Amino acid sequence: MRAGLPGRRSILLGTVGLAAAAGYGAARLAGTVVRPGMPISDLTPGKAVSGPVGFGLAGLGGARSALASRRGAPFLLHVWATWCSPCRHELPGLAAFMKAWGPDCPVVPMAVSSGSPEEIHAFLERNDVAGLPVWAVAGGDLKTWCGNRALAIPVTFLIDNAGCIRATAAGSLDWAAPGAPAALRRVLAATSA
């Protein structure tokens, strides 16, 4: 090995350290971290750890949605990206979950730093993810709300009645698990209490 070039061991340790730091940032943000693929029932509301969510989302055809308008009822805010491989694996399960729940599903999926809503819609069509609502958020808006902390994508935030984070699931959730809708109803009820 020549002087000045990192060895395989240094690269491996650096990669592991970077992944751990990203997970740690999400854990510090919400206090509760659910490992990838964990059941929805493992989301346990803790005390509020953020200010109220106040940024807006851009939708197809110029549609706009203010997350502040959802205050009064808890919901899940699911952040994903078109460039995220784990997200591509999770999206079909999320879309099926939302379709089975119906139009009042308390999950808001939003793509971060993934282009326009039309580009996101085209991505979903190319990847056979039908029925997922198309909402986009600018990375800067999300980062400002999260206190400029690094986030691992995908990430799902449990948002309480006041619009504050009560738990975070860093990584994928198991949307297809038996009893997932009932588990989400219990988590939301515990968040309202």
Of residues 176 and 144, the one with the higher pLDDT is: 176
CB count within 10 Å of CB 17 equals 10
Question: pLDDT tens digits for 83-107?
Answer: 999 999 999 999 999 999 999 999 9
Domains of the chain: 8-192 (3.40.30.10)
Predicted confidence (pLDDT) at residue 14 exceeds the cutoff of 70:
no
Could you tell me what percent of the chain has a pLDDT over 70? 81
Q: Average pLDDT, stretch 14-30?
A: 42
What average pLDDT does the chain have?
83
Report, as an integer, the average pLDDT of 169-187. 94
Confidence of residue 149 (pLDDT cuts 50, 70, 90): confident
103-134 burial: b if 16+ Cβ within 10 Å, else e: eebbbbbbbbbbeebeebbebbeeeebeebbb
* Tokens (6 digits) for 132: 């997922």
Give the position of tokens 């491996």: 12
Q: What CA–CA distance (Å, rounded) separates 171 from 190?
A: 22
Going from the C-alpha of 170 to that of each of 51, 64, 102, the distances in angstroms are 19, 26, 25
